[in-house]
Amino acid sequence: MNGLKKNIRIFYLLSLNALKITFQARIGGIFFLIGKIIRVFFIFLFLSLIFSRTRIIKGYTFDQILLFYLTFNIIDTLSQILYREVYRFRPLVVSGGLDMVLLKPFHPFVRVLLGGIDYLDIVLIVPYILLTLGIYIKMGSFHWGNIILYVALLGNSMIVVTAFHIIVLAFGIMTTEVDHTIMIYRDLISMGRFPLEIYKEPIRAVFTFIIPIGVMMNVPAQALLGTLSWRGVFSAFLISLGMLYISLIFWKYALKKYQSWGG
């Protein structure tokens, strides 16, 4: 318990430091937010143009597709808020700074995974949640059970997100390459913006069972729409925990291969 309190305290201090850094680059932050808003706007425009030609895609209406897209943005934004420090991991490895992190009397994930909260993305998460709730209410299928399950599966999705970022860190230790790995990850998860039903087999199976993009991005929206079976819910939790277990094993293996500064 004392160790947990210590880690939370360190996380709090690192978050305060990240907040100070954010306020030092206010102009850049404003342009960053504008760019993200423009990107989301163009995706909405793209979807509107598609549905101006057809009413249903693979059995999904425009509002249902929007729920999938907004769910993707909620999960992706949460990952950006929590795990932004992963993008800065490579300089820590090549400079030898990771040595000092590993010597500290707290878990290294507090520093290398959670050590750089991105406060700018917090501004975006609230509109995404409100839009998702508004569209769900507009559809006329409001059900508290679906909402509770949706929130639980969002948490499950974050377990998968955490596992992916731990794997990126492990690759960074073994190869000193992080930027390309994290970009590959982002390209892969972008396929989860929309229902996986739009893809043909075996792509759909690969991104459900081998690389669980569907579990991470699609399953919560399916629960909200009431189309997810209890077997699917159980499978989603099982896959996410398995993914986290594999990522931790890979992290420990990478630490054994770490040669330290000058190695």
Give residue 152's pLDDT band: very low, low, confident or very high (50, 70, 90).
very high
Q: Is the predicted pLDDT of residue 48 greater than 80, yes or no?
A: no
**What is the rounded distance in angstroms from the CA atom of residue 73 to the CA atom of residue 59?**
22
DSSP classification of residue 130: H
Q: Per mean pLDDT, which range of 12-21, 88-97, 155-164 is the poorest?
A: 12-21
Please name the residues in contact with 169: beta carbons below 8 A apart, sequence gap of 6 or more.
86, 89, 112, 113, 178, 251, 254
pLDDT at residue 7, as a whole number: 76
Answer for the pair 124, 81: CB distance below 8 angstroms, yes or no.
no
- Other C-beta atoms closer than 10 Å to the C-beta of 74 total 21
pLDDT at residue 218, as a whole number: 92
pLDDT at residue 97, as a whole number: 84
> pLDDT tens across 29-47, in order?
666 667 777 777 776 776 6
| CB neighbour burial string for 84-94, b if at least 16 within 10 angstroms, e if fewer | bbbbebbebbe
pLDDT at residue 34, as a whole number: 75
> The pTM is what?
0.86
As a whole number, the mean pLDDT across the chain is: 84
Q: Which helix (H) or strand (E) holds 86?
A: none
Answer for the pair 176, 91: CB distance below 8 angstroms, yes or no.
no
- If we measure between CA atoms, which residue out of 39, 43, 57, 79 comes closest to residue 189? 79
Percent of the chain scoring above 90 in pLDDT: 25
Give how far Cα 83 sits from Cα of 156, 184, 245, Å.
16, 16, 18
Q: Is the predicted pLDDT of residue 235 greater than 60, yes or no?
A: yes
Give residue 248's pLDDT band: very low, low, confident or very high (50, 70, 90).
very high
pLDDT at residue 55, as a whole number: 67
Domain residue spans in the chain? 2-257
Give me the mean pLDDT over the 194-216 stretch: 84
- Other C-beta atoms closer than 10 Å to the C-beta of 158 total 17
Handedness of CA 54, 59, 62, 68 (dihedral sign): negative
